[in-house]
A and B are shown apart, each in its own frame.
Chain A
């Protein structure tokens, strides 16, 4: 009984004081700033201060398009954050490239290089959607067990907390994705283009 209430206390402490990193990339950043302003106050949920330094932040809200030129910087910042750390991928661009998916300089989703906890669709998502995602992250933290095989990354010394930083190649980033975290999702393509019954 002591163990469960300790776990609750531990999780409550962590979820109620998530300090985000001051990291806005594009248009979603303006909505993120609007969320922290007086009308849709994010500070009442515990995100009291936005830290400028990654060494002091627990949450990285990737708000905006991640371009290939910026991708190594994003991954480096993520590596510099101390555990426990969480990532919210805000907006269509950070999820999968968004409206700029065809671009040669656009990274098709930040989850190719770093693990993401919550995705917020929208272009840009409303401030209420960001608050909803924040609450969803808090629920996710609440449901974490401190011991056992499901324990979070920072209590499990075998799981990596730093990820490969991509380099600039001659035509593209090298490597184009981190295969340990992301693999191309399956597409039901056997039905399209052929006159065969679908199989999957």
Chain B
């Protein structure tokens, strides 16, 4: 901590009679701090309790995905995409598989598309559940809501483990389909999890609507207007909380999302409360999609039999493929020069771009609000720093 002695401030007390002179305080929040978002650092300049300036510092988890990918084959990069946003590994895989399929013009069979939707929406459920648990923990309910959220998350992780062999780093998608088919009894297990989820959501939604502390701490805090959101490139729940009606599942219609009947919730004010409530509503919509997908899952192959796996060399060119990940628009920009390794592997990180307005959201707020605002942005450092 250091005190900037040449930036002194004159404070006028309530009745305008006295001048209290003060100094601005500069503190460094992070890279190791208790609100468990990872190694993220913010240099905050405070005037008493209010934020005057906030500069984020990145790079503490910069693991060089892009450089490593240039020396790996296309398929060899797939496990690295798991570790980008390490909480939602399956949607990362999907975005990368979509980008390569756009680059090389590969088609995906129907059963694989349904499996992708099922696992993708399950990923969205466990991500939002974890996020709500962390947000409540950041607000001071130390531990208990997180326990409930993780209890639900463990149920989904059990499903992933039965399907792919790993709880977190699933490595499930391949170019042209999925890696493995459902084991016996998986679909019934998934149905049970999906049917039991609304009870957990009801608990949390009632907390939101009736708990005074929560409502006082989140309403009117960290407001982002619609125009600001579009200009700053916000995407996903962050943008929709500000009223931007843009959900890639409805706009790009990638995969088979056209066949499902679901709504896109939108916020009005764009504060932390809206973002929280939006994620709870999105979980409900995901449950609807899951029910429809599990009901309509067809039989068939999960990989196109004609797909070339060995010696995969797409033609020279480039492609940008993007999906609606749980955090926002996750895109991969790939340039191929005809060799088995990508020439340029660029990840469009939703978490980093959603942080563009962090300073604007926190100006004038109290120090305690910074933690809540950061929690509502939903960042994962693996994606911010890559």
A contact set with B: CB distance below 8 Å: 22-27, 29-31, 33-34, 37-39, 52, 64-65, 67, 69-70, 73, 77, 99-100, 102-106, 123-124, 126
The interface residues of chain B lying within 8 Å CB-to-CB of A38 are: 147, 150-151
From A105, which residue of chain B is reached at the shortest CB distance?
B62
How many inter-chain contacts with C-beta < 8 Å in the A-B complex? 94
Contact A22 B36 (CB under 8 A): yes
- A26-B86, A38-B150, A99-B80 given; A105·B63 CB < 8 A: yes
**Taking beta carbons and an 8 Å cutoff, which residues of B are in contact with A?**
31-34, 36, 38-39, 59-64, 67-68, 71, 79-80, 83, 86-87, 146-147, 150-151, 153-154, 167-169, 381-382
B147 adjacent to A25 (CB under 8 Å): no
Residues from chain B with a CB closer than 8 A to the CB of A69 are 59-60, 62
Nearest chain A CB to B97 CB, angstrom units:
19
Q: Are A99 and B83 in contact (CB under 8 A)?
A: yes
What is the minimal beta-carbon distance from B221 to any residue of chain A, in angstroms? 23
Among residues of B, the one whose C-beta sits closest to the C-beta of A123 is: B169
* A102 proximity list for chain B (CB < 8 A): 64, 67-68, 71
Q: Are B36 and A67 in contact (CB under 8 A)?
A: no
List the A residue with the shortest CB-CB distance to B80: A99
A–B complex contacts, Cβ < 8 Å, 7 sampled: A26-B39, A33-B150, A34-B150, A39-B151, A67-B62, A69-B59, A105-B62
B-chain residues with CB within 8 Å of residue A27 when the two chains form the complex? 83, 86, 168-169, 382
Give CA–CA (A81, B62) in the complex, Å. 26
Nearest CB in chain A: distance from B93 CB, A: 14
Q: Which 10 A-B residue pairings sit nearest by Cβ, starting from the closest?
A: A103-B64, A27-B86, A52-B34, A37-B150, A70-B60, A100-B63, A105-B62, A38-B147, A69-B59, A39-B154
A168 → B minimal CB distance (Å): 11
What CA separation (Å) do A125 and B147 show in the bound complex? Answer: 20
Q: Which residues of A contact B67 (CB under 8 A)?
A: 102-104
